Amino acid sequence: MDNQVRFQPLSFQHAHFYAPPQRPIFTSAQFSMVPQQFLQNRFRPNKEFIRVWNSLNKELIPFTQKLLQYNVNPEMSRILYIQVINYTLTNWNHYSGSFGVIIDEIYQSMKSDLSFISVLRPYRIPEKNLDLMLKQIIYMTLEQTDQSFGRKKWSDWSEIEGNLTSGPSVVSTGGNNVFVFIRGKNKQLYQTHWDGEKCGKWSRIGGVLTSSPAAVAINQERIGVFVRGNDNQLLCKYNEQGHWSDWQDLGGKLSTSPAVTSSGENRFEVFARGNNKNLYHLSWNGTKWEEWKNLGGYITSAPSAISLKENRIDLFARGKNRELVHKYWNGKKWSEWESISGVLTSSPSAVSSKQNRIDVFAKGDNEELFYKYLDLTTNQWSEGNPPRGEISSEPAVISNNNGRIDVFAKGKNNNLIHSWIE
């Protein structure tokens, strides 16, 4: 961090309230839209900045519209974008680490070097919303210099035939032997097989579902699927060597989809939100189901569960303020819920792409993927770099633990969509 080149702070006009104009905002891709007085007096764009600006111009429209909700006028928004983009382009090469770490470090330095945080304070933009927005602009800027990070990009979203009325659930029994489960238009359970390149035809499994399904691989030949039934009870069904069992009623009063994870040989744990918004837990101990237990808390979505090793379970959900929240079991007791960050508009989904790492995805408030990951060795959270594009459900994620992540979700046309990175 020594001897770093710092982009000098720019001046802002004082905050004032503004009536939104009745015309398109920030629709031109030309740099001439930037206030000329600002350019003449305070800023001289170089070719790299202009290239990035013209590339990102249309993608910044949603941010301008969000800032208008807080009475930040478009001209002030554009000056804000100029500062963030130019600071990022000027200083990114002074940082090292993962992509998410670089984003965090740039943002922390930017907050101390530039004055926009204090200038925007009178507009009363929630701090976590502003943090997320500005980090997204940093991320978008860094994407324009992607070759500098040696990273592979997410694939474009591919569309897969289907008629989804829920988010998907995905499970692997090894290699590219991946199964995707959904609720169909008739509220029945459907399944398709993904071989790493394409999906097969949908097969109907039946039942009456009132939630998204949750699937778990019990072993290489047995899959369990859990759903909320017509009476809000937990139902489960097993597939062993291609043959499905009957539905089993496990009771409970669920107000969300369930979540399930395997915590050891022939052991698995089911979690769901109850009618009182508390988290409830049901465990199979290898020989029988134990009683439902109330784990407390106050969550506003279905939970997500993952177990990376015996006697460790990590849970994620959306909290009171739509932020990501987390708690874990250490083999002896449950931790308290901790609030992470973000603005989630769906339940989260967790997967592990590397040893001692948990990747958490959800639908964000921009209808695109929210992505953060937790390093369990340092207990540090970092921003991920999710694929761009709209989704219309909670995501389902799976990983081969070699860094590849596959994400499935419901698309805008109620079909199944898929993106991946490795």
Strands across the sheet with 259-264, in order? Answer: 259-264, 267-273, 279-284, 293-296
Q: pLDDT (tens digit, 9 = 90+) per residue, 241-288? A: 889 999 999 999 999 999 999 888 788 899 999 999 999 999 998 889
What pLDDT, on a 0 to 100 scale, did the predictor assign at position 26?
A: 33
**Distance between terminal CA atoms of the chain?**
30
Residue 33: predicted pLDDT: 41
Mean pLDDT, rounded, for 385-405: 88
Mean pLDDT of the chain: 85
Could you tell me which residue, 355 or 300, shows the higher pLDDT?
300
pLDDT over threshold 80, residue 6 = no
Contact 337/329 with Cβ under 8 angstroms? no
Q: What is the pLDDT of residue 117?
A: 66
Predicted local confidence at residue 7, as pLDDT: 37
Average pLDDT over residues 161-188: 92
The arithmetic mean of pLDDT across residues 222-235, rounded, is 96
* Lowest pLDDT segment from 18-32, 134-148, 280-294, 369-383: 18-32
* pLDDT given at position 47: 83
pLDDT surpasses 60 at 319: yes
Categorize the per-residue pLDDT at 327 as very low, low, confident or very high, splitting at 50, 70 and 90: very high
Of residues 189 and 104, more confidence is placed in 189
Q: Distances in Å between the alpha carbon of 80 and those of 71, 144, 340? A: 14, 18, 26
> For residue 14, what pLDDT band results from cuts at 50, 70 and 90?
very low
Between 404 and 337, name the one with better pLDDT: 337
Question: Pick from 203, 193, 196: which is nearest to 170 by CA?
Answer: 193
- pLDDT exceeds 60 at position 412: yes
Q: Which tens digit of pLDDT belongs to each residue from 21-70?
A: 333 333 333 334 444 444 444 567 788 888 888 888 888 998 899 899 99
Neighbours of 111 (CB within 10 A): 14
Model confidence at 119, pLDDT cuts 50, 70, 90, reads confident
